Amino acid sequence: MRLSFDNSFARELPADPSVVNQRRQVFGACYSRVVPTPVSAPYLVGVSSPVARALGLSEADVHSKQFLELFSGNLVPDDAAPLAACYGGHQFGNWAGQLGDGRAISLGEVIDVGGRRQELQLKGAGPTPYSRMGDGRAVLRSSIREFLCSEAMHHLGVPTTRALCVLGTGDLVKRDLLYDGNERLEPGAVVCRVAPSFIRFGSFEIFASRDDLGTLRALAEHTLRRHFPHLLDAGKVTPSTYTRWFAEVCASTASMVAHWMRVGFVHGVLNTDNMSVLGLTIDYGPYGWIDDYDPTWTPNTTDAATRRYRFGAQPRIAAWNLARFAESLLPLSRDLSGMEAALEGYAGAFDQSNRDMQRQKLGFLPDSQPLDGALCADTPESLHESLLQLMGRVETDMTLFYRGLAQVPDAATDAGGSAEQSDELLLEPLLGAYYSEPSAGLRDALVSWLHRYQRCLVDHGVNVGRRERMDAVNPKYVLRNYLAQLAIDEAEDGDYTLVQQLLEVLSRPYEEQPGRERFEQKRPEWARSRPGCSMLSCSS
């Protein structure tokens, strides 16, 4: 097994002069050199074959002892450059100062089979100078959740980091799951995360906060040359380059968040240190999927009081985080009005992306207009807004509802029959999405909405191909919170079958998969309030 390392981050940016691995404040450096702490008996829990192939790893490589040694941190190749990055961040709206990679150690950057640069990061590989009070380790449950979610999001079409594998370490780690004083020993694990870069908003905030403009500029120029070369001015970085870059980060962030809203994903801990400058979803901690549609829901127990990072607030919080990123770049761009205009552009970009995705979820084309002689007073946007209000009146499984909506008959082709029969035909594909029986009033309101919906589809001329279009954007399978927990339960007993089954199902989230109906079922009642299924902590 051979990976070709080319470590531009370590080569081009200032390093911590100290190589002593102890908790401390690190100044004037983008990273600290640190090697993973060996584990006792690594074993394979799950691997993403597509990611392995992209890195040039064969099936034999994946099942070799060298694979276990390398991706557990026991073996560091001679040409690797293991490091922990220095960054800061705003956590829950407050400046937290230096944070950094406290339990993630990058082995270095490799060139994949497509010629693209990919950073390999081991999460749970041991303490670093940024570990603060932590031990630098991760547990099996959080590692499985990150591994599965990274790959699920990719196949859903959501911009994200990837995950190569999750390995058990053979060691136990002590954790307090709910921060209630009940610590317990859990199996340890390491997950290998893969991305072009893990540079985040907080990577720039830390140097701006310290008025360290030299390191700030070095990091910014490295990021631009490595990841945004098309923005350079005749190969050079100028003050206007930073403004154009910020505008591009605003646009990619807007698209990412719109995708979250499309599939019902809640990040759970949208601190500025968890926001990628590449517009990728990073740091899968206490995330969750919307079961019943509820804009106020957050999966994070730490966020239970204020719900700052609730589902419906994610677009606004992303804008707040972007403003903090803009503040850190302002000393370089010196263009306040340009940065403000770019931030305003985020709102427009999100609204446009979200509008297009909402239209597609209902089967409309992004640019479809009413035909001549149209009778419907509704627009796709007004229809969607009123639908969300109906979904909020009773517990409605968001994933199942939109998937069922594609099966609602078309007014002009297959609705037929009497008014009463037509109403039943309209409702039948949707009833399985409810967690309790809809009231008579809600049924009437939903039927009324469905008739308006049918009329609007006809008036826009989009009936043909509607179901196929809807099924292409409304997933049938998502990583439901309770399914992840069931996989964790079995894995902690030494059975990794469900981990692999979920990985396979979630690789085709929009397709019908006969025989795998269990993976599309809505949350069972036992999972309503169980930790891991309803809410999670930042504990790992």
Tell me: the pLDDT tens digits for 162-196? 999 999 999 999 988 766 778 899 999 999 999 99
* 57 and 182 both lie in a single domain: yes
* 252 and 330 both lie in a single domain: yes
In a domain, 366, yes or no: no
Is 273 labeled as catalytic in the residue annotation? yes
> Which alpha helices (DSSP H) does 235-294 contain, by range?
239-263
In a domain, 533, yes or no: no
In a domain, 522, yes or no: no
In a domain, 280, yes or no: yes
Kind and range of the H or E run holding 223:
helix 213-227
* 24 and 144 both lie in a single domain: yes
Last residue of a domain, one of 298, 328, 361: 361
* 197 and 211 both lie in a single domain: no
Tell me the two tokens of residue 160.
């994200």
CB 40 within 8 A of CB 169: yes
Kind and range of the H or E run holding 150:
helix 140-156
Q: Write out pLDDT tens, residues 195-206.
A: 999 999 999 999
In a domain, 520, yes or no: no
Q: 216 lies in which domain range? A: 205-361
In a domain, 488, yes or no: no
Compute and round to an integer the Cα radius of gyration of the chain.
24
* 336 and 384 both lie in a single domain: no
What is the Cα–Cα distance from 264 to 248, expressed in whole angstroms? 24
* 191 and 263 both lie in a single domain: no
Q: Give how many domains the chain has, as a whole number.
A: 3
What is the Cα–Cα distance from 449 to 390, expressed in whole angstroms? 9
Nearest-10 Cα torsion for 244, 249, 255, 261: -140
* 172 and 40 both lie in a single domain: yes
* 181 and 38 both lie in a single domain: yes
* 265 and 238 both lie in a single domain: yes
Q: Which segments within 214-344 are labelled E, that is strand?
A: 265-266, 288-289
* 191 and 210 both lie in a single domain: no
Q: Write out pLDDT tens, residues 394-417.
A: 999 999 999 999 999 998 555 444
What is the Cα–Cα distance from 287 to 295, expressed in whole angstroms? 14
Active-site residue among 273, 291, 397, 459? Answer: 273
Give the β-pairing of 117-123 and 104-111.
antiparallel
In a domain, 537, yes or no: no
* 119 and 168 both lie in a single domain: yes
CA distances for 148 relative to 178, 302, 491, 529, angstroms: 22, 23, 13, 22
> Which alpha helices (DSSP H) does 362-511 contain, by range?
380-391, 398-405, 419-427, 440-460, 466-473, 481-492, 497-506
* 247 and 233 both lie in a single domain: yes
CA-based end-to-end distance of the chain: 31
Task: Compute the average pLDDT of residues 299-307.
Answer: 92
Q: Write out pLDDT tens, residues 319-342.
A: 999 999 999 999 999 999 999 999
540, pLDDT greater than 50:
no
Q: Write out pLDDT tens, residues 3-59.
A: 989 999 999 999 999 999 999 999 999 999 999 999 999 999 999 999 999 999 999
Last residue of a domain, one of 202, 228, 262: 202
What is the Cα–Cα distance from 398 to 392, expressed in whole angstroms? 10
In a domain, 514, yes or no: no
- DSSP letter (8 states) at residue 208: H
Global pTM value? 0.96
CA atoms within 13 A on the CB side of 59: 0
- Name the residue among 34, 44, 118 with its Cα closest to residue 83: 34
Contacts of 91 (CB under 8 A, 6+ apart): 99, 271, 272, 273
